[in-house]
Amino acid sequence: MIRRRDLLLAMPAGLAASALPRDLALAQTVVPTPAAEPKLEPKLPAGFTLGASTSSYQIEGAVNEDGRGASIWDTFSHTPGRIKDGSNGDVACDHYHRFAEDVELMAQAGFGSYRFSVAWPRVQPDGAGAPNVPGLDFYDRLTDRLLARGVKPFACLYHWDLPQALQDKSGWTNRDIVGRFTDYAQLVATRLGDRVPRWAMLNEPSVHAIFGHAFGNHAPGMTGWKNYLAAQHHMNLAQGSAIRALRAAHPKLGLGTVFSLQPVLPATGKPEDAAAAVRFDAAWNGNNLDPLFHGRYPEISAADFAPFIREGDLDAIKVPVDFLGVNYYGRAHVVDDPNGVIAGAGWGPHPPGTRTTAMGWPIEPQGLVEVLARLRDDYGNPQTFITENGAAYDDPAPKGGTVDDPARTAFIRDHLLACQRAIADGCALKGYYVWSLLDNFEWAEGYSRRFGIIHVDFATLQRTPKASFAYLAAVASGAPTGTILTGP
């Protein structure tokens, strides 16, 4: 049992703004969380899972080996001007050949679980038909190595690397993809379901829909509100369809999905920004949560989705889940933007004094508590795992067999303390997976941003555990962490 005296900060109180829904008004009253005192250490409950996450395109490499087909990220990253540093994921971290080394590092850290994603084009090069056996063999080897080293595998079926052959048929904007995804999910679960206990259908469908289908700065590079709506709805349908199919065929599997969730706040006191926050919250959070848990889209979104909804769709999307994965990085501070592609809203300034990462993202651990409280209060308090949380910083070069990354270590510590507070407040949080195990190909940022707790030299592919790795290993073992933690 977590004791209150071990918690970091009491939740601040304030007056709610009448212009916002209850959960947004609550978030609006919360001031940025100060840096935690170095002496405080997380004290997580027995049975709490500590692990790491990655995704296939960002780390595997081997894009032309063993029958793998092209993905939308292969196409996108090879298009001039799309990636900040002109790079691609052709080699990435070469995890395809070096997975045994990476599993060994996880075992040394004492991680209880590893969330990885399966590359759809490695399993079905054209997005349909019989499986590519060598591709499935890779995930067989990975799964067996994880189990041999005492690390439970946690598979995510889709982390944005759609087969290009399906994108050529309009991808997620084509309703036919629902059946394709369900077939693919069944192929993978049939091969690995005897050893992989927990399965996520999708990773961050709202982010994929917004950045890949509305803004166009992620693969597949589509733009416009209508493309966002079609992609979002069809991902919701595919998620529900796959869960139902897998539950029927493999009733013992733990089935769920992964959403990026963040409190959405108006960046100013203007009424128009408060209204924009409600619209943006629906696009980022509600258009995933409400269909899954309530069988409807948020009222503010319903009319926009109506042209894409057929009879029975909402019943098909609403399906019981054994868990919900939550990816959390910070709050969204938004302003009204009449030209904004997403709900006529855009990102605004952070509150004065807010610390940020190298990505420019706000560091707001208390926002994680707010997200989990919202799930508790509005969505039935599902069993939850933090499936991504981490930070990019401009790390120094390795020295003496390590990388000193005190800011990242402090970031992780503060968010583990936020997990602790949420559990004490009755949230059904069961685990935390850091993003990411390895420095990797960071989508449109290429290799210019490093999130890993293990440094990767992209010229030699040598791995060097960072101080944040040592910190998490200490947390996993229950050892004191104060001598490791030296950051702000």
Catalytic residue (one of 41, 364, 370, 388): 388
- DSSP-H helix ranges across 193-224: 205-210
Residues 6+ apart with CB under 8 A from 104: 149
Q: Classify each residue of 95-125 as buried b or exposed e, where b means 16 or more C-beta atoms within 10 Å of its C-beta.
A: bbebbeebbebbbebbbbbbbbbbbbbbbbb
Among 198, 111, 240, smallest CA distance to 383 is for 198
Q: What SS3 class is residue 94?
A: coil
Q: Classify each residue of 278-308 as buried b or exposed e, where b means 16 or more C-beta atoms within 10 Å of its C-beta.
A: bbbbbbbbbbbbbbbbbeebbebbeebbeeb
Give the pair of three-digit tokens for residue 46: 């027995």
Give 3-state DSSP helix, strand, coil % of the chain, rounded to 5: 40, 15, 45
Concatenating the DSSP letter of every residue in 220-272 gives T---SHHHHHHHHHHHHHHHHHHHHHHHHH-TTSEEEEEEE---EEESSS-HH
A 10 A CB-CB count for 339 gives 6
Q: Is the backbone of residue 461 left (phi > 0), alpha (psi -120 to 50) or beta?
A: left
Residue with tokens 């909402």: 314
Catalytic residue (one of 41, 60, 204, 442): 204
The answer to whether the beta carbons of residues 181 and 235 sit under 8 Å apart is no
Is 204 in the active site?
yes
Is 388 in the active site?
yes
Q: How far is CA 317 from the centre of its chain?
A: 20
Q: What is the 3-state secondary structure (H, E, C) of 306-363?
A: HHHCCCCHHHHHCCCCCEEEEECCCCEEEEECCCCCCCCEEECCCCCCCCECCCCCEC
The answer to whether the beta carbons of residues 107 and 151 sit under 8 Å apart is yes
CA angle 122, 89, 357 (to 5 degrees): 125
Give the pair of three-digit tokens for residue 320: 């019981």
Among 122, 87, 93, smallest CA distance to 105 is for 93
Residues with active-site annotation: 204, 388
